[in-house]
Structure 1
Amino acid sequence: MQIHVVEQGQTLTTIARTYGTTVNDIVEANDLPNPNNLVIGQAMVIPIVGSFYFVRSGDTLSSIARRFGTTYQELARINRIPVDRPLNIGFRLYIPPQPKRAGEFNAYVEPRGTAVAPALESAARQAAPFLTYLAPFSFQALRDGSLKEPLLNNFPAIARANNNVLMMVITNQENDQFSDELGRILLNDMAVQDRFLNNIVTTARRLGFRDIHFDFEYLRPADREAYNNFLRRARDRFKQEGWLISTALAPKTSAAQKGKWYEAHDYRTHGEIVDFVVIMTYEWGYSGGPAQAVSPIGPVREVLEYALTEMPGSKIMMGQNLYGYDWTLPFVQGSIARAVSPQQAIQIAARNNVSIQYDTRAQAPFFRYTAEERNHEVWFEDARSIQAKFDLIKELNLRGMSYWKLGLAFPQNWLLITENFNVTKRAT
């Protein structure tokens, strides 16, 4: 599979001809929102076996072979050229498919309101073949140890049909806000905690959940050890049922990191207790802050490299956003950026006739435009940015990736999963 970035003057016809494929195949693979109005800088996946590399200044057959993990002799053989042939700039070399490794993938799905939107259920159906886990968000713990269930509709059936482990996400949310007081009660009042664990087991048995996932956020720093002890009790209880246990963790870069989001999350101890963690490596660029990449690769790497000092990579799932934001400029504290899907971002760029740029440091696409006399800046995800994250997963030998959240279209992501990984299916 090839990632192609649109250049000035290119059309789908010329791009298809370059790679020996068809316009229809490219449109279908990318679910292109703008087939007749391509944007300069727009990244697309080209659905071919293997890929092509176009020789650049300074390249040699050996340097190209090293880049793609093969030998210059093999590249020469595949491309039917002498091993000592000089390479002209622009010469096209075929690169065979790279070996895949196993990987696990999770996606949260968050129904809102009083009914599950058909489009959200459709998004879950489309994503489920590429997932190990499907995670309806969320079961909200109550102060008496009972649970408020989310809308589930057909999510359990979708998980069963696609051999997904159904993940039971449990949060300490009240009125859609994380509550440290609710956390304090659940973690310290043992009578409430006993009822809480009993209710989890009863509910998980009834609905078919096989991973119990705690997303407890903004806990009191004083409850760090209480949370650890709770997880030990929960692990022992759930192992009797043959279930997995996992947690969501704030993106820390040191054990001593200050801040209410971070201090109660003990990476080392979670790594010892649970089967795996989801590290929330996103929201550097967030709706209430200034315009920037949502998950710039440098800070993401820093968090994951710290995590590897506390637990094995086999227990770490990288968190990844399936969305971007459209900020109004200049940024004013208290303003809220609009969430956009990668597909919507491309449509905005096409509609406003602006080119998409790519920040190589953040490994993220962005663009600026003006509408109704207001300046805007949009950061989002594309094939290049997600491939950079997949490369990082492989480099650091992590368990896989967890997506927040389904419902925002990003068809390139799912294609690139299959190009890079053999998705593990744990359900039986």
Structure 2
Amino acid sequence: MAAVIRTVEPGSIAHEAGMEPGDILLSINGQRLQDLIDVRYLSSDEELVLEFSKGENGEIWEVEVEKDWSEPLGVEFVSPIFDRIRHCANRCAFCFVDQMPQGLRDTLYMKDDDYRLSFLTGNFITLTNLTEADWQRIETYRLSPMYVSVHTTDPELRQQILQNPRASQIREQLERLQRAGIEIHCQIVCMPGVNSGSVLEQTLTDLANMWPTVQSVAIVPVGLSQFRSGLTQIQPWTPSEAQGLVKQVTRRQKEFLQRFGTRLVWAADEFYLLAEEPIPAAETYEGYRQLENGIGLTAKFREEFFASMANFTGRCPLERIMVITSPLGAKALEPILTYLREELDIVVDLEVVINRFFGSTITVAGLLTGQDILAKLQGRSCAGLDAVLIPGAALNAQDRFLDDLSLSDLESQVECVIRPIGSGQELARMCQNG
């Protein structure tokens, strides 16, 4: 890997220096570059010497530039990591990568545990593979915030869950981040009967005692696919257990709101949907601090949709649509589908797809595969349908599903107009404009 340039902003420092897509940035002021963090910090100087190799012939250029200290270089790199991504040294009992079959997108099999990606892109890390040099770099550059997979603050239990002796150091490591002034967003992958109940209660107490260093705590349910042969036995969450967790989180939220002015801890949408409890109001998520973790996705989607439709007085051009989603996705969409039918007079065919690929215990829309959606649509006529709506979260940026089937391949096989919907605003625009 290297600092390969993907794009150069016209008129930027990099553009004036002669950089082009495909060139490789080698050093700034004589300092070799490990990652985008180095680029950001080293390029903050007002006088720079940029060393880079030209993509077409490998010729080395060295260019001196002057700039304002806050002016960026104006380049985007192919990858934010220029050496090697740090891989996970744990053997977590719940690791979803270990539960995936062959044949998926290559990137899905990578177990990264890289503190640099935690700072740059919000990836969660366990802190178990940090060297002293890593710690000093975090402290020197003050890489904040960091996203940490805590799971439990019980040293012995965390060591058991992660199957790594260094996992027991979590309290000391969090305290070191606190001393360095690093803000932390925490994740707890919660397993019923393992790190739930009283164990979770103590974990939340320990993390709350570190506020405001700890800025948020997300509790997400363990995901269990059908490919768990030879792995640790873990039980899925039941509706009654999910209901108990929701009550526990609600109680702690009230406590923390009174103590700190923030709810601090949030449960993933899956818990509310499984427990058949109402989704909390959008404002209770306080800006959606852990949206990528499934914390508040439903509330945000609903809020966006109804806010976008609030002043709509025109006629909806859609007459009939098919909505494809997962079991929990169907629950999340209930008030919106009711609105489409009753307020906009759209005929909505709801098709709930059971996840045959990963197993029926996987009930979230974002893990639906192309082949499961294809199986639902094959043999079905799309005549009279304005569109087939599918979860946008099931696709990556290249419009490929987890099983590597592309959206265009799916459309060609079923001869339907398929519209991925990724937000409430997107759905509202479709309802207004077709």
The answer to whether the superposition gives a TM-score over 0.5 is: no
Q: Greater strand percent: which structure? A: 1
Ranked by relative contact order (alpha carbons within 8 Å, sequence separation 6 or more), the top structure is: 1
